[in-house]
Structure 1
Amino acid sequence: MNAVRVLIADDNPVVRAGLAALLTAQDGIEVVAEAADGRQACAAAAEHRPDVVLLDVRMPVLDGLAALPCLVPIAPVLMLTYSREDEVVRAAVRGGAGGYLVHGEFTADQLVGAVRDITEGRACLTTSAASALMAHTRARTPGRSLQSQHAPLQVQSDVAQSVSAGVDRARYGLSQREEEVMELITGGMTNHQIAAACFISEKTVKNHINRIFAKLHAANRSQAIAVWLGTVRGPVRHG
């Protein structure tokens, strides 16, 4: 089995050295390059073609968010930073980051696990990052806690929230759980990710999705999202 090849981008040399020492001590992980800013990270990624990029947010020359467009096409990007502001987390995920870990919210073993997971398409979020992304879902489903130390997510869009403002969704007749699942579908989650976020099985997720599609008169996710966001006219519930 080939080793997971990692690029570490952080402007703090002490942090870089610590991460490199931690990761290289693991079987099956190799640190192939380090970078002190976003521009160096882009150049190193193009040269070394890593399997994973660990990326800080606040760096000189070119910050992590600005570097995402050149890094994401090369390798999965795992944000590893002290920045926990909601808008920064959302911007990183919208930009294509596959995970977001905030220093102080994960253990060394969890970091190693996240590096391995992201290469297999399983993204990881620490608590404050998950809270930033799940805030609008919790607001729509009061009393439901979706906190998770490693809640896997893909991209969620603030644009979707603004488009859907004022849409009368009660007429679709979705249950509270079905509404919650539909919100996560709109956010770009896979069935596996929805199951993890809601603490239910993938089979249960599929059952919810089948019922959602029937109620929205949708044949697939794209059609369901269009109806849910109000970009196409949805069905009216009778009875």
Structure 2
Amino acid sequence: MTPRPGRSDPAPPPPMPAVPAAPAALRLVVADDNPVVRAGLTALLSGRPDLTVVAEAADGRQACEAAELHRPDVVLLDVRMPGVDGLAALPFLVRIAPVLMLTYSGESETVREALRRGAGGYLVHGEFTADQLITAVRDVREGRAHLTPTAAGAVLDGLRHAPSATAHAPSPPNSAYSATDFPISAKNLSRMQPPVGQSSRFRLSVREAEIMDLIASGMNNQQIAATCFISEKTVKNHINRIFAKLHSTNRAEATAKWHGDGGDPR
């Protein structure tokens, strides 16, 4: 058919604007030895369209296994858990993903130690709302520290009462546990178990074993305080407990027993 003069075909409709794809949901691992807390956190976090819990863990070992398997965006980690606790697992987990401590443990020393070992934030239960938790997860994912009041107070208190020897002491290690020494794998996760040698023999905690190692290396209280980011008073308290557990009255005697040269504990 011949088109009529003065008329043309209608112009094609303009293309529809591209709709940006929704960002992928942040993938989380929740580690807490209390199953009720784990279930509550999982329900809360997975109820958000931009968050999803890919795994739960009941202790530090399970947290590391889950993180290695799922490669999450953030790990939510309790401090006190049986077997491998949160502080022991931290140096390994932070190599995989940012870690947000989520715990009832608000002791100043614990807060500072968690941050020293690489935690990106520290929330104490009872000091935040659900929305604040969500904000903290996103902040930690982006590298922004997030602390609840108790944790923030612990950091400020540590700065106010930092031992004067810090300025003269060697730079402290990033962690009492070197992640480069123990790469994460299913085969060597057993090395994260609490020490089964002298520390279990004398019933020393992980922190006490760390300080006993420093005593045995010849450090004085001031140097230990600077190395561990704690006050000299706290060092003295630890040493008193160590001496009691090793049935020792001085550093030389404690060191001999620690090295296995001083007889068995009573």
TM-score bracket for the superposition, by shorter chain length:
0.5 to 0.7
> What amino acid does structure 1 have at the position aligned with 2:118?
G
**Within 5 A, what are the aligned runs for 1:190-209?**
none
- State the Cα distance separating 1:136 from its structure 2 match: 4.1
**Within 5 A, what are the aligned runs for 1:37-186?**
37-137=59-159, 139=160, 162-164=165-167
- State the Cα distance separating 1:71 from its structure 2 match: 0.2
Unaligned runs of 5+ in 1: 141-157, 166-239
Deviation track 1:26-71 (CA, whole Å, cap 9, x = no partner) reads: 1200100000000000000000000000000000110000001110
SS at match of 2:146: coil
Asked if 1:28 corresponds to 2:50, the answer is yes
Misfit runs of 4+, over 4 Å: none
Q: Which residue of the partner structure matches residue 18 of structure 1? A: 40
**Within 5 A, what are the aligned runs for 1:217-228?**
none
SS at match of 1:15: helix
TM-score by length of 1: 0.59
- State the Cα distance separating 1:2 from its structure 2 match: 1.1
Q: Which residue of the partner structure matches residue 183 of structure 1? A: none
Aligned mates of 2:63, 2:145 — CA distance in 1: 21
Unaligned runs of 5+ in 2: 1-22, 169-266
Aligned mates of 2:61, 2:127 — CA distance in 1: 27
The count of aligned residue pairs is 147
* Bigger fraction of residues in helix: 1
Q: Which residue of the partner structure matches residue 155 of structure 1? A: none
Aligned mates of 2:56, 2:40 — CA distance in 1: 12
- State the Cα distance separating 1:133 from its structure 2 match: 0.5
Aligned mates of 1:83, 1:72 — CA distance in 2: 20
Q: Which residue of the partner structure matches residue 211 of structure 1? A: none
> What amino acid does structure 2 have at the position aligned with 1:43?
E
Aligned mates of 2:92, 2:104 — CA distance in 1: 22
SS at match of 1:83: coil
Aligned mates of 2:157, 2:107 — CA distance in 1: 13
* Larger-Rg structure: 2
Aligned mates of 1:100, 1:48 — CA distance in 2: 23
- State the Cα distance separating 1:116 from its structure 2 match: 1.1
Aligned mates of 2:100, 2:166 — CA distance in 1: 29
Aligned mates of 1:30, 1:60 — CA distance in 2: 26
Change (3 A) 1:136 1:59: closer
Identity %: 66
Aligned mates of 1:67, 1:163 — CA distance in 2: 26
TM-score by length of 2: 0.53
RMSD of aligned C-alpha atoms? 1.8
> What amino acid does structure 1 have at the position aligned with 2:166?
V
